[in-house]
Amino acid sequence: MSALDELKQKIIFVFIEDQRYMYIIKGLRTTIIVTLLALLLGLVIGILVAVVRTAHDQMDKKGLTGLPGLIMNILNAICRVYLTVIRGTPAMVQLLLMYFVFLASSTNKVLVAVLTFGINSGAYVAEIFRSGIMSIDKGQMEAGRSLGLGYAMTMQQIILPQAIKNVLPALVNEMITLLKETSICGYIGLNEMTRGGDIIRGITFEALLPLLVVAAIYLAIVMFFTWIMGKLERRLRESDNR
């Protein structure tokens, strides 16, 4: 038997027999679902936290007092604790804590993963957005306010659209990180793609082929998004010059 035939046999044994490739296909689906939902949650949390942090810092300079000042200070303190704790502990530990402690009553592992990674990603997205907001000239806020637009309206209509544009590449980066990080979900028994490959390894006692395929799929997705990011950056640079 030639080497090529041998490889063919192995591939059939590892992937085709008993439709074992489905472990990877289904795993890929779960990986993508968890990544996208977590990213969405992370974006929402990230924008809110970033707006609270910048609003607080801007008001601080103007010496805000009274009840609004108190509320801002409390919100800001919550956000800072959140950022410090989430960025200061491993995602793996957060996942285990969520699964075995905070959401121990839940049997929905996808939900546990989405919440964990959404909350985790939110902290990084918040800092990305904060730098994006701070990169916008303060004259933009003043122009909006001088027209009679409120702070929230100016933020929403004038500052955030520009900030989001500036941080899009960084957000795509965050998504790539997130995609790869979800591979630790196997530790709570969630059948995402990495675990799918690992299950095949366990059944067939073949490690190289299934894990190689899993790696190749991650790589393909990451390269696809890197390519998108490159195009995006070029488009943004062009629109800056218009």
Partner 1 sequence: MITVNHLYKSFGDHDVLVDINEHIAPGEKVVIIGPSGSGKSTFLRCMNLLEQPTSGQIIFDGVDITQKGVDINEIRRHMGMVFQHFNLFPHLSITENLTLAPIKLKLMCREEANEEAMRLLNLVNLSEKADAYPGQLSGGQKQRIAIVRSLMMKPKMMLFDEPTSALDPEMVGEVLGVMKDLANDGMTMAVVTHEMGFAREVATRVLFMDEGVIMEQGTPEQIFNDPQNERTKEFLSKVL
Binding residues vs partner 1 (CB under 8 A): 62-63, 137, 139-140, 142-150, 153, 157-158, 161-162, 165, 240-242
Residues 6+ positions from 171 with CB-CB distance below 8 Å: 43, 125, 128
- Which pair of structure tokens corresponds to residue 33? 């679902």
| Nearest residue (CB) to partner 1, 63 versus 88 | 63
Q: How far is the CB of 63 from partner 1 (least distance, A)?
A: 8
Measured in whole angstroms, how far is the alpha carbon of residue 43 from the centre of its chain?
A: 8
Q: How far is the CB of 187 from partner 1 (least distance, A)?
A: 43
| Nearest residue (CB) to partner 1, 87 versus 138 | 138
- Which pair of structure tokens corresponds to residue 68? 């609004």
| Nearest residue (CB) to partner 1, 19 versus 241 | 241
Q: How far is the CB of 93 from partner 1 (least distance, A)?
A: 40
Q: How far is the CB of 14 from partner 1 (least distance, A)?
A: 51
Q: How far is the CB of 129 from partner 1 (least distance, A)?
A: 16
Q: How far is the CB of 151 from partner 1 (least distance, A)?
A: 9
DSSP letter for 136, please: S
Pair 183, 194: CB distance under 8 Å: yes
Query: What CA–CA distance (Å, rounded) separates 195 from 198?
Result: 5
- Which pair of structure tokens corresponds to residue 164? 């989001």
| Nearest residue (CB) to partner 1, 66 versus 189 | 66
Query: What CA–CA distance (Å, rounded) separates 133 from 131?
Result: 5
Instruction: Identify the sign of the CA torsion 179, 108, 43, 52.
Output: negative
| Nearest residue (CB) to partner 1, 88 versus 139 | 139
| Nearest residue (CB) to partner 1, 147 versus 215 | 147
Residues 6+ positions from 190 with CB-CB distance below 8 Å: 30, 34, 109, 110, 112, 113
